Amino acid sequence: MKVLITAKNYKPSERLQENIEKKFVKLGKYFPDDATANVLVSKFKDKTKIEATINGKQTIFRAEESSDNVYEALDLIIDRLSHQMSKYKGKLEARYKENKALKFEFIPDFPEEEEDDGEIKIARTKKFELQPMTAEEAVLQMEMLGHNFFVYLDMDTDSANIVYKRKHGDYGLIETDR
């Protein structure tokens, strides 16, 4: 696994960089060699924040933690990612027992673009290719990313749909007509 470490308002020591690489390389045994782990270490006020995203061929795992101690935050990140991988593996096993195909693809993040055109300001733009999947697979991908909603291409209707997390913990589905 390739580990890319970046820093914002923080200068990570060589020891910290080595620890990050060592811990993520251990997680790398679950991914193909071309998988990439992006780790961002940033400092704000008295806390250090670590954000990690692992881009595999089939899905994305993401976690972020902040702590007074950067090594504690790193351990928490590794625990969260391991938990996500375990949960994902269990869901995959359950789906394959029912002979349902999973079709997750890599969803790239594009750099932020700022526009200043009056009152409405779009702070960030993301583009990604819609991949065909079921609503259940979209919910799983949304949970893996830690987002509140997820846009996907419905396998059956070939239309763009949105799944979202509701206040009481259940999920909603917005279907579109063409």
Take residue 121 and report the two structure tokens written for it. 């300001």
User: How big is the chain, counted in residues?
Assistant: 178
Nearest of 128, 106, 94 to residue 61 by alpha carbon = 106
Take residue 24 and report the two structure tokens written for it. 């993520």
> What is the CATH classification number for the domain harbouring 29?
3.30.160.100
Q: What is the amino acid identity at position 164?
A: Y
Domain co-membership, 115 together with 69: no
- Confirm whether 93 is domain-assigned: no
- Confirm whether 56 is domain-assigned: yes
Bridge-based pairing state of the strands 160-165 and 171-174: antiparallel
Burial class, 126, CB count within 10 angstroms (exposed 0-12 / middle 13-18 / buried 19+): exposed
Q: pTM score, two decimals?
A: 0.55
Domain co-membership, 70 together with 108: no
Q: Which domain holds residue 60?
A: 2-87
Mind listing the pLDDT tens digit of every residue in the chain (178 residues)? 888 899 888 888 899 999 999 988 888 777 777 788 899 999 888 888 999 988 776 678 888 898 898 999 999 999 888 888 878 777 766 666 655 444 444 334 444 444 444 577 888 888 878 888 899 988 988 888 888 899 999 988 889 999 999 888 899 999 988 6
- Confirm whether 29 is domain-assigned: yes
**What's the total number of domains in the chain?**
2
- Confirm whether 135 is domain-assigned: yes
Domain co-membership, 163 together with 115: yes
